[in-house]
Amino acid sequence: MHVEHHPLIKDFPEKREQLQRLRQEDPLFARKAEEYEALDKRICRIEDGVETLDDAALTALKQERVTLKDDIARDLRQLLRRLLRLSSSETEKARHSAGFLFSPSVRTGRRNESPSRPRRTPPRSA
């Protein structure tokens, strides 16, 4: 019986770049990822019959794999939050330097008018 592996890249395909980044920048994360991959391979070997282990021990290994995957998912979410915070602060700085934080009259060049309000034209005399 062939058992499907659960590599991190397959479980988190949309987070491939973050996985690689964390593996390179965070030794603790890299160790968790390596431990997860080794544990996943071992579980697959047991389920394929290459190694033998009783059901209780196999269940404990699977639980350990789930716990590691949860830790890894949490680390990925934290990285994403940090990147979003950095991105939003950089966007805010760019807006400020580009003049987007000025009042509407400064942006439009008109006094006492918001950019969304149309200009009134005086009625024509006949």
pLDDT digits (tens, 9 = 90+) for 8-65: 888 888 989 889 988 999 999 999 999 999 999 999 999 999 999 999 999 999 999 9
CA gap 69, 57 in Å, rounded: 18
pLDDT value at position 2? Answer: 57
**Token pair recorded at residue 47:** 């389920």
DSSP 121: -
Distance in angstroms between the alpha carbons of the first and the last residue of the chain: 93
H or E stretch covering 17 = helix 16-25
**Token pair recorded at residue 65:** 């794999």
**How far are the Cα atoms of 27, 68, 121 from residue 36, in angstroms, in the given order?**
14, 6, 70
Residues 6+ positions from 65 with CB-CB distance below 8 Å? 6, 36, 39, 40, 43
Residues 6+ positions from 105 with CB-CB distance below 8 Å? 111, 112, 113
pTM of the model: 0.64
